[in-house]
């Protein structure tokens, strides 16, 4: 059994507390939040506190606040020599203060309060200073996920960066596609199967081998036509740069 306190009231905190409170191998003691928790947390049957001095003894304290606020909250904790971990992709483990044992418990996913996610499939990246603490984090992670990775802070900052490409920028490309079609009444749903197939190919091909399209084929005639269509849309430069990058990859 691992006992846990969660500190923070955001999306990650909510999804994590949901997963942990439903778990027979875990005792979720408390959720701390400086301000009142949103109504979503009503469905999590656990003590909620707004005063750090009310924190009970726990095996792991999980700080799950915005990346900017992690260190300052860690510094305020009225505990010593406990295992304190954060869930932030971009914060090095060593930025945590020295008064407690340090660790990281980073679920690699995009969370929203309104959309359920299956935690079992979410990769959890764990890191700790001692093998003992790493074991505790592994036990905790494996209780809610089938996909646990030991990842150090150096790797994690690359993962956090790559997640911008695979999630944030990918989503922006979808936005561009929708925007381009708006004027001509093209329903964005028409692209869903293509997008789904783009993803499914990754199960059988590497992204390098899965690449198709005019840039890969160096089909200058089609590229020229596309650039004309992109005049005054604001997206021509992105098309040019992506096309150039794909060309260079396959030169």
Residues 6+ apart with CB under 8 A from 162: none
> If we measure between CA atoms, which residue out of 58, 1, 142, 26 comes closest to residue 18?
26
CA distance 116 to 228: 42
Closer Cβ to a copy of itself, 38 or 233, answer by number = 233
Of 45 and 175, which has the nearer Cβ to a copy of itself? 175
Nearest of 48, 42, 39, 46 to residue 8 by alpha carbon: 48
Query: Which of 55, 65 has the CB closer to a copy of itself?
Result: 65
Q: Closest separation between CB of residue 227 and a copy of itself, Å?
A: 10
Contact 66, 11 (CB under 8 A): no
- CB nearer to a copy of itself: pick between 83 and 246: 246
Return the structure tokens found at 132.
């003992």
From the CB of 224, what's the least distance to a copy of itself, in Å? 11
Q: Collect all residues with Cβ–Cβ distance below 8 Å to 6 and sequence separation of at least 6.
A: 13, 16, 17, 20, 28, 30, 31, 32, 62, 64
* Nearest distance, CB of residue 83 and a copy of itself, angstroms: 24
- Distance of closest approach, residue 179 Cβ to a copy of itself, in angstroms: 9
Smaller CB distance to a copy of itself: residue 46 or 177? Answer: 177
Q: Helix (H, G, I), strand (E, B), or coil: what is residue 218?
A: coil
As measured in angstroms, the least distance from the Cβ of 236 to a copy of itself is 11
């Amino acid at each position: 059994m691992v006992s846990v306190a969660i500190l923070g009231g955001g999306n990650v905190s909510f999804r994590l507390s949901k997963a942990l409170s439903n778990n027979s191998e875990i005792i979720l003691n408390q959720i701390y939040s400086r301000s009142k928790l949103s109504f979503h947390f009503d469905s999590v049957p656990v003590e909620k506190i707004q005063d750090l001095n009310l924190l009970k003894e726990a095996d792991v304290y999980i700080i799950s606040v915005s990346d900017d606020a992690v260190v300052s909250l860690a510094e305020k904790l009225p505990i010593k020599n406990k295992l304190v971990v954060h869930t932030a992709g971009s914060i090095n483990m060593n930025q945590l203060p020295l008064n407690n044992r340090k660790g990281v418990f980073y679920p690699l996913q995009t969370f929203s309060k309104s959309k359920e996610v299956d935690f079992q499939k979410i990769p959890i990246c764990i890191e700790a200073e001692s093998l003992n603490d790493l074991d505790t984090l592994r036990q905790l992670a494996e209780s809610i996920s089938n996909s646990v990775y030991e990842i150090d802070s150096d790797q994690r900052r690359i993962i956090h960066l790559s997640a911008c490409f695979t999630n944030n920028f990918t989503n922006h490309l979808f936005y561009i596609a929708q925007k381009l079609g708006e004027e001509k009444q093209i329903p964005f749903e028409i692209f869903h199967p293509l997008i789904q197939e783009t993803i499914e190919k990754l199960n059988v091909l590497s992204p390098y081998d899965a690449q198709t399209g005019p840039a890969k084929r160096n089909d200058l005639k089609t590229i020229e036509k596309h650039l004309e269509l992109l005049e005054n849309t604001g997206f021509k430069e992105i098309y040019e740069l992506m096309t150039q990058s794909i060309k260079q990859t396959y030169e």
